[in-house]
Structure formats: C-alpha cells, structure tokens
Chains A and B, each alone.
Chain A
Amino acid sequence: MSNIPNLRIRRVTAQGHLAVWVALAALLIFGVLRYDNFASSYNISSFLGYNSMFILISVGMCLVIMTGGIDLSVGTVAALSSVVAAFLSPYGLIVALPAGAATGLVVGTINAVLITGLRVPPFMATLASMLAAKGAALWLSDSRAVAVDWASDFTRLGMGKVVGLLPWTILLALVVVLAAWLLIERSSLGRTILAIGGNAEAAHLMGLKTRRAEVFVYIFSGTCAGLAGVILASGYGAGQPLEGAGWELAAIAAVVVGGTLLTGGMGSVPATIAGALLFGLVLNLLNFENGRGTFSLSANWQAVIRGMFLLVVILLQARLSRPATKT
C-alpha cells in the first residue's frame, strides 16, 4: 500500500524504450565513421532486406508479449510457410504470398484456440505448435529444400527493389509495422492489448474485451511469421524446412531489448523494431570488422557475441528497473 508517488515507474517507462534508440544511433554512427562501405546503398539494402524477416517476426512477438504471452512457434511456422510458398511459386506471387501468410494464420489460429479456448499456457501451446509446424514442414518437403520456380515472378519479392534502392521485403515489413503501430496507438483493440499485460484477469474485470485481444495477437503473430517465410523462400530461392530454429528467441531478444517487458503492460512497437535492427547491426558491424582483417571472427563467434550483447542489455535493464522491483 504505497502512498509515495511512484516516480520510478515513469522513469522506467521512458528509459526502457530510450536506451535502445540511443544504442542504435551510437552503433550507426560508429559504423559510418569506421567502415568505408557501411553507408553504401548495397550494404543498406542488403541489411534491410535480410532483417525484414526478423522485423516481421519481432513485431508479431511484440504484440503477443504485450498481452503477457509468448509465441515459440514463429520460427518453424516461417519455415513451414516458406515450403508452402515455394511449392506454390509457379503460380506467382499473387498466389504464393497469400498462401504463405495463410499458413501462418492457420497456425496462429490454432494457437489462439489452444490458449484462449482450452486455457493451455502460451508457453506450452506454442511449444506444441512449434513442434507440429516443424513436423509438417519436414513432411511436406521430404526434409529437403524446395526450389522455387524461377520463371514466375515469385522471386521478385525477395530479390527485387523498389526504385532500385529499397528491397520489396523491407517495404512489406514496414507496412506491417506501421499497421501494428497504428493499431496499438489508435484503436481500442490495441489499447486493450497494451493494457492486458501480465494481468488478463484485471483487464477482464475492467470490462475490456480481453479474449478478442488475445485471439488477435496470436493470429497476427502467426501471420507475420507466415509472411517472413514467404520472404525467406523468395529471397533465397528455396523453401527451407530446417530454417527458423532459434528465430523465436531472437525475436524475444529484440522485444526485450526494445524495452517491452515480458510481464507486459509496457510496450512499444517502434522500440522493438529498433531492437531487431540493433541485433542485426551488431552482426553487420562484425562482418565489416572481419573484412578489415583486424581479427578474424568465424561465424561461431557471432552467436557468442549476440549472447553477450543480450547479457549487457539485460544487465542494463536490471539496473534501471531494480529499485521498482524491491519487495
């Protein structure tokens, strides 16, 4: 029962989201100053193109985490959808894109039913659908990569650019991000998602339509993963059933880095995107550093660096929110 104005809450809210932007800016400046080709159109477009998949998955995960849930299935759903899209690539983007998205939507719906209908905890439900999606992907593809039809316009999504500079993929991701951001800021459903946080019960007592919100976020997350899978197939020329392992955790990391708490209640779509970009940027910079020859960093080190990075961010966030969490 606190009668002391809790100014710490205000500080945590602001600082949690601010930190990631500062870090992003710092790294960008560092990169521009240090490496010759860092700011080149080639680097920018390939960086954005590659990270568009992670951005999509991260924004889906952000919404799910805002409601206090989690979606472990996004990685394997992307793999599954990449296989589906690759199979349908001969019919062109107009069929393959919606099909891939629909694949994700279906799995997302299954998640939503399990979680809101059968009251299965999100961790377990999405764990199960992650396994099921993986199984389905392997089954459909016979455990092999599925080549796309190069004759159709399918690969234009993954490999093409708008006005020769911006890859279509990042445009697609941007559209989805914008839609999500608008939803959160300007719609009742979005405010409900934000308010559910870790306490769905309280939100329900307040008269909020919590069920609707919970169903929505899982379907949305699944659809995002489906789109990411289409980008995967289209950008690499093949549907890949084995890809996607660990993607969900990369997305969680991006969301956490962006300041959205896993306990919910606080969330920011833009900050999550910044978090995803931040992780990608770290790798990008490492590649450049490798190229410079200062030290030779094998691919193995990348995982280590990513982990250490996450650790640093977590420690920083722990320091920031520490006073507020003391019992």
Chain B
Amino acid sequence: MSGGRVRAAPLPSSENGPGMTEPLLQMTGITKSFGGVPALSDGNLTISAGEVHSIVGQNGAGKSTLIKILTGVYRRDGGTIRWRGRDVELRSPREAQEAGIATIYQELTLVPQRTVIENIVLGYEPRTRFGMIDWRAAEVRTREVLSRFAIDIDPHRPLGSYPTAIQQLVAIGRAASMNAHLLIMDEPTSSLDDREVDVLFGVIRQLRAQGTAVLYVSHFLDELFAICDGVTTLRDGRTTGEARIPDVTKLDLIAGMLGRSAEDIRAAGMTNLAIDSDPDGDTVLETRNLASDRRLRCLDLKVRSGQIVGLAGLLGSGRTEAARAIFGMDRTTAGQVSLQGQTRRISSPREAIGAGLAFLTEDRKTEGIIPDLSVRENLTLALLPRLSRMGVIDEAHERRIVEEFIKALGIKTANMDQPIRELSGGNQQKVLLGRWLALEPRLLILDEPTRGVDVGAKREIQAIIRDRVAKGCAVLLISSEFEELIEGANEIVVMQDGRSVRRLTNPGVTEDSLINAIATGTS
C-alpha cells in the first residue's frame, strides 16, 4: 500500500534507544476473544523509551484490539503487560492515562465547543487550596504547552474554531502535558496536508528527543519509513514480525501482512486494474469551472463512457468535495455540469440518481450501510423506486436481482436476509458497490472503493470495476493508492486546493511522474 507523498529523508533513528535497559513497554502473548471468536491469539509488542514505533496489519489482524487493550478500553484474556518495569493491569482509559499512556484518536475526542485551555486541562485541572479549579494556573500550563510545540493560537477561543490540524496538535499537547511516557497516535495524518504533516513529524521528533515513546499507527507505509524506528507486524491475531525500520523494505512489510512472499507480489502487479479499454466513448460527464460552497473552487473534468478518470491529490485537495458537488450533495456556487451534453442543475442525491449518477462514498459506516437491515434491503435501497409499483415493492423481482448480484460480486453471506452488520468489511463494501451497480448508472463515482478492505476482496472489487467499465460505464475514481490510478485510469486529474490543476494521460504515467504532478501543481 502506498500513500504517495513527497517526504524529506528520514532522520537516523536514535542509536542509544532500544536494548540498553528494559524496554518501556513489553506486551507478551496477549490473547483476547469476543463471544468465542478470537481476535488475538499471540499479540506481542515491545517499545523502548524514546522510540517511535509502529504496528502494521490488515483489517482483522488484531491491530486495533491490541491497542485497545493497551489503552484500557478492553481487558485482555491472557498474556502479560510490563510497563516501566512492572506488570500492570490496565482496567480503564483513565488508569492507562494515569500510568502514562496517552492516546490521540483519529476522531479527535476533545470537546470542540469548549476553549483550548479547557481542553488541555480537561480531567486534570489544577486546583486551588480549596479544591476548586485554578483557571489562572490552567492558562499558564496551556501557554507552556502551546509554546513548546510552537502553536500560535489564542487559547481562549473554542477549540472547534481552529482547523483539524491545530486541534490535533492541541490533543498532542494535552497528552504531552500529562507527562505521558507513551503517546499513541491513531491515523494522525488522515486530515492533514503535507505542510501540516511536516509540523507533526517535527513534534514527534521533539517528543522522541525528550524520551517520550510514540506508537504511530498509520496505513500509509511511506510515513512509517519517514518517521519510525521500529515496526511490528500483525497477521491473523498474531505478531508475525518485529523489526527495525532500516532493516526492512515496504515490500517486506506488505508480504508480512499478507503472508505471501515479496517476489510474488512484485510479479503479479499491485492491483487488478488494467487499462484495456479504448477511450472513444461519448462524453458522459463534463464540468467546467465547477465550484461549491464546500471548498471546491474550480473543477474542469471530462469523463467518457468506458473510461476511468482518476482524481489524485493530497488530502484536503478537494477530491471528495468534487464528487459531492457532482452528486448534488453540496450546493454549486459557480460553473456548470453537463451530463450527456446537456447542462444540468443537480441539487440532491435523489436527482443525481435519477440522472444516471452513482456515488460510493468513502466511509461506509457512517454513509453507507444501514446496519440493522439485511443484505438484500441494503443492496436494493437505491433501486427501490424501480422495483415498486404504486408504492408496493415487488419482492420476487427484488430477490432475483439480489441473487444475481450476490453471485456476480462474490458476496460471502449466509443468505440475503442476513443483517449486513454481520458481514466483513470487504463484503459490506461489495454490497454497497452492488447497491450502485444495480442502478446501471452511466457514471459511477467511487471514493476510495478498496479502503479498509482486505487484499483478497480488494482485488475482487477492482475486477468488478474493470468489468463494468468494459461494458461502457464511465467511472470517476478517487483513490489514495497510486497503483490503482496508475494501472487503472485512462486519465488522471490532479487536484490541489479545490482546483483541478493537471491532467495526465495513460499509458505513460509512473508513480514518480504522478507524485511530481501532485507536488508541483500547475505545470
């Protein structure tokens, strides 16, 4: 998996780190089951003081379970945790925090409506003699923290009035001010642009220099090579590898995660997409100067039937916003959209669907699946108007279609009436893909369609997409995985700051040229 970013060369890892004394953290033989199903059967993790360490593994490998045991959210079934030289029981998040293990979650868990000061000291407010909160001392502590990390903001304003990057730094500052010995960061860069990531890395190096260990969890492997000293690999609930970063390559890590040899992967090509269609079809979608009230400034795009157009760019470049504007989720403030040569105003997803568009969103949990409904009900949700007459659903027809799709997409489910929440991530994604494919759309917009999906399902989904394109569907593909774009897209549009800035045509695009285009923006 690649994240595709430009990185400064990594600093040499601290030489006097691991090995000198007993490590800061040693988790050995951790086991944990949920309802009889084992999530971890042999979890091991060793981190030294002042080390930046990482855990990698696919979904379902046990990564998040191990971390939740470390942070006190779960109780382990077996194994030992040795923290700062002693065996410990971490029974709650507060206990973990008081032991010196602080976590910064991906969905920041601070309180945006309250001020920066309140957030920094929340739960650990300094007291006066009478036991009441000493707000002046709180402000002093806050300013100390802010200056330590060079965050120049007014601490009296609500935290939510600052961008996510700042909020994250405040979260880190809070953790650091609580004298944490180990800081766990969960997908910290997912909302940051390149500049902000550099600031973050600077902060991490600072923490490392003062002896704080960092557990850095991210699926962007390139980042790990830029900032981490060591890495632990998990697969199927067991730790399969512990190594120092200079000693491994990206391919080694992926091989370790998949349980395949590095050579096999290299030989098979990274994805299941291939450009084999002749982009000669009719123009399905064309946008000119499209702008929305949500950060999209100027989008020029053209997608033909039988063609895949990729949208590339850093996070925050406006790719998802582009999709949302096209699909009618955000209000258009300028420019125009034409479908099949006719200018259209689309102001709701419902209208978009009616016009032949489909949109598989990034986050299937919050915007995709209806957890309590069955596979069948989820799959046909968008198709229902066509399956009903006078408001009554034709159940026989519905079942026929669902059966077709279960077979065609290889959805692993006990039966079509199984609640969708019981399916694995990959299969859920397939159901959602089915929801949109069932509409037989003219344009299919896919936002990170293979994210959070295991490698096997990933390839199946890519095959399905390729198949549809061959049948004439037009596809707009947003992906952070460069291989998908390079190997699958006829054309790649690079976005930056809400604008489309470059167009690259395939064949001919390489990872380097793509990264180059993203980094430099306008040619």
Chain A residues in the interface with B (C-beta under 8 A): 1-7, 9-10, 13, 182, 185-188, 191-192, 194-195, 197, 199, 202-209, 265-266, 327
B274 beta carbon closer than 8 Å to chain A: no
Q: For the complex, what is the distance from the CA of A7 to the CA of B110, rounded to whole Å?
A: 17
A sample of 20 inter-chain contacts (CB < 8 A) reads A1-B191, A1-B315, A3-B164, A3-B193, A5-B162, A6-B161, A6-B162, A9-B158, A9-B160, A10-B158, A191-B125, A195-B114, A199-B109, A203-B109, A205-B105, A207-B94, A207-B97, A207-B123, A265-B111, A265-B114
Closest chain B residue to A3, Cβ basis: B163
Contact check, B109 vs A206: say whether CB atoms are below 8 A apart.
yes
Q: Chain B residues with Cβ under 8 A from A204's Cβ?
A: 93
B118 beta carbon closer than 8 Å to chain A: yes
B73 beta carbon closer than 8 Å to chain A: yes
Central interface residue in B94, B160, B190, by most chain A CB within 10 Å: B160
Contact check, A207 vs B316: say whether CB atoms are below 8 A apart.
no
Q: In the complex, how many angstroms separate the beta carbon of A225 from the nearest chain B beta carbon?
A: 27
Q: For the complex, what is the distance from the CA of A327 to the CA of B161, rounded to whole Å?
A: 18
Closest chain A residue to B178, Cβ basis: A207
Q: For the complex, what is the distance from the CA of A4 to the CA of B105, rounded to whole Å?
A: 20
Central interface residue in B105, B109, B191, by most chain A CB within 10 Å: B109
Contact check, B93 vs A207: say whether CB atoms are below 8 A apart.
yes
- With A13-B158, A188-B123 as given contacts, are A205 and B164 in contact (CB-CB < 8 Å)? no
Closest chain B residue to A188, Cβ basis: B125
Q: For the complex, what is the distance from the CA of A9 to the CA of B159, rounded to whole Å?
A: 9
Q: In the complex, how many angstroms separate the beta carbon of A43 from the nearest chain B beta carbon?
A: 37
Supply 14 further A-B pairs (C-beta < 8 A) apart from A195-B122, A265-B114.
A1-B190, A2-B163, A3-B164, A5-B161, A9-B112, A186-B133, A187-B132, A188-B127, A191-B122, A202-B109, A203-B109, A205-B73, A207-B97, A265-B111
Per the CB 8 Å criterion, the residue count for chain B at the interface is 39
Q: Chain A residues with Cβ under 8 A from B458's Cβ?
A: none
B141 beta carbon closer than 8 Å to chain A: no
Contact check, B163 vs A5: say whether CB atoms are below 8 A apart.
yes
Q: For the complex, what is the distance from the CA of A145 to the CA of B114, rounded to whole Å?
A: 47
Residue-wise interface mask of B (177-194) relative to A, using a CB-CB cutoff of 8 A (1 in contact, 0 not): 000000000000011010
Q: For the complex, what is the distance from the CA of A195 to the CA of B107, rounded to whole Å?
A: 16
B334 beta carbon closer than 8 Å to chain A: no
Q: For the complex, what is the distance from the CA of A205 to the CA of B110, rounded to whole Å?
A: 10
Q: In the complex, how many angstroms separate the beta carbon of B105 from the nearest chain A beta carbon?
A: 7
B261 beta carbon closer than 8 Å to chain A: no
Contact check, A3 vs B316: say whether CB atoms are below 8 A apart.
yes
In order of increasing CB-CB distance, the 4 nearest A-B pairs are: A202-B109, A207-B97, A9-B160, A186-B132
Contact check, B160 vs A6: say whether CB atoms are below 8 A apart.
yes
B455 beta carbon closer than 8 Å to chain A: no
B165 beta carbon closer than 8 Å to chain A: yes
Contact check, A13 vs B163: say whether CB atoms are below 8 A apart.
no
Contact check, A4 vs B163: say whether CB atoms are below 8 A apart.
yes
B103 beta carbon closer than 8 Å to chain A: yes
Contact check, B161 vs A10: say whether CB atoms are below 8 A apart.
yes
- CB proximity to A under 8 Å, residues B105-161: 105, 107, 109-114, 118, 122-123, 125, 127, 131-133, 157-158, 160-161
B295 beta carbon closer than 8 Å to chain A: yes
Q: In the complex, how many angstroms separate the beta carbon of B179 from the nearest chain A beta carbon?
A: 13
B329 beta carbon closer than 8 Å to chain A: yes
Specify which of A1, A185, A188, A202 is in contact with B164 (CB 8 Å cutoff). A1
Q: In the complex, how many angstroms separate the beta carbon of B45 from the nearest chain A beta carbon?
A: 20
Q: For the complex, what is the distance from the CA of A206 to the CA of B112, rounded to whole Å?
A: 14
Q: In the complex, how many angstroms separate the beta carbon of A185 from the nearest chain B beta carbon?
A: 8
Closest chain B residue to A211, Cβ basis: B92
Q: Chain B residues with Cβ under 8 A from A207's Cβ?
A: 93-94, 96-98, 123
- With A191-B133, A205-B93 as given contacts, are A4 and B295 in contact (CB-CB < 8 Å)? yes
Q: In the complex, how many angstroms separate the beta carbon of A215 from the nearest chain B beta carbon?
A: 16
Specify which of B122, B127, B162, B329 is in contact with A206 (CB 8 Å cutoff). B122
Q: In the complex, how many angstroms separate the beta carbon of A199 from the nearest chain B beta carbon?
A: 8
Q: In the complex, how many angstroms separate the beta carbon of B339 from the nearest chain A beta carbon?
A: 23
Q: Chain B residues with Cβ under 8 A from A197's Cβ?
A: 111, 113
Contact check, B113 vs A266: say whether CB atoms are below 8 A apart.
yes
Central interface residue in B96, B118, B164, by most chain A CB within 10 Å: B164
Q: For the complex, what is the distance from the CA of A270 to the CA of B125, rounded to whole Å?
A: 23
Q: Chain B residues with Cβ under 8 A from A203's Cβ?
A: 109, 111
Q: For the complex, what is the distance from the CA of A5 to the CA of B116, rounded to whole Å?
A: 14
Q: Chain A residues with Cβ under 8 A from B122's Cβ?
A: 191-192, 195, 206, 208
Contact check, B316 vs A1: say whether CB atoms are below 8 A apart.
yes
Q: Chain B residues with Cβ under 8 A from A202's Cβ?
A: 105, 107, 109
Q: For the complex, what is the distance from the CA of A199 to the CA of B164, rounded to whole Å?
A: 18
Q: For the complex, what is the distance from the CA of A212 to the CA of B125, rounded to whole Å?
A: 16
Q: Chain A residues with Cβ under 8 A from B160's Cβ?
A: 6, 9-10
- With A10-B158, A265-B113 as given contacts, are A206 and B93 in contact (CB-CB < 8 Å)? yes
Q: Chain A residues with Cβ under 8 A from B191's Cβ?
A: 1, 3
Q: In the complex, how many angstroms separate the beta carbon of A206 from the nearest chain B beta carbon?
A: 5
Q: For the complex, what is the distance from the CA of A327 to the CA of B294, rounded to whole Å?
A: 11
Q: Chain A residues with Cβ under 8 A from B96's Cβ?
A: 207
Contact check, B109 vs A2: say whether CB atoms are below 8 A apart.
no
Closest chain A residue to B112, Cβ basis: A9
- With A10-B158, A207-B97 as given contacts, are A195 and B111 in contact (CB-CB < 8 Å)? yes
Q: For the complex, what is the distance from the CA of A194 to the CA of B162, rounded to whole Å?
A: 20
Contact check, B329 vs A327: say whether CB atoms are below 8 A apart.
yes
Q: For the complex, what is the distance from the CA of A2 to the CA of B158, rounded to whole Å?
A: 15
Q: Chain A residues with Cβ under 8 A from B133's Cβ?
A: 185-188, 191
Central interface residue in A1, A182, A205, by most chain B CB within 10 Å: A205
Central interface residue in A3, A10, A199, A208, by most chain B CB within 10 Å: A3
Closest chain A residue to B118, Cβ basis: A191
- With A206-B109, A265-B113 as given contacts, are A192 and B123 in contact (CB-CB < 8 Å)? yes
Q: In the complex, how many angstroms separate the beta carbon of B189 from the nearest chain A beta carbon?
A: 11
Contact check, A13 vs B113: say whether CB atoms are below 8 A apart.
yes
Q: Chain B residues with Cβ under 8 A from A266's Cβ?
A: 113
Q: In the complex, how many angstroms separate the beta carbon of B107 from the nearest chain A beta carbon?
A: 8
Q: For the complex, what is the distance from the CA of A187 to the CA of B128, rounded to whole Å?
A: 10
Q: Chain B residues with Cβ under 8 A from A4's Cβ?
A: 163, 295
Q: Chain A residues with Cβ under 8 A from B105's Cβ?
A: 202, 205
Q: Chain A residues with Cβ under 8 A from B132's Cβ?
A: 182, 186-187
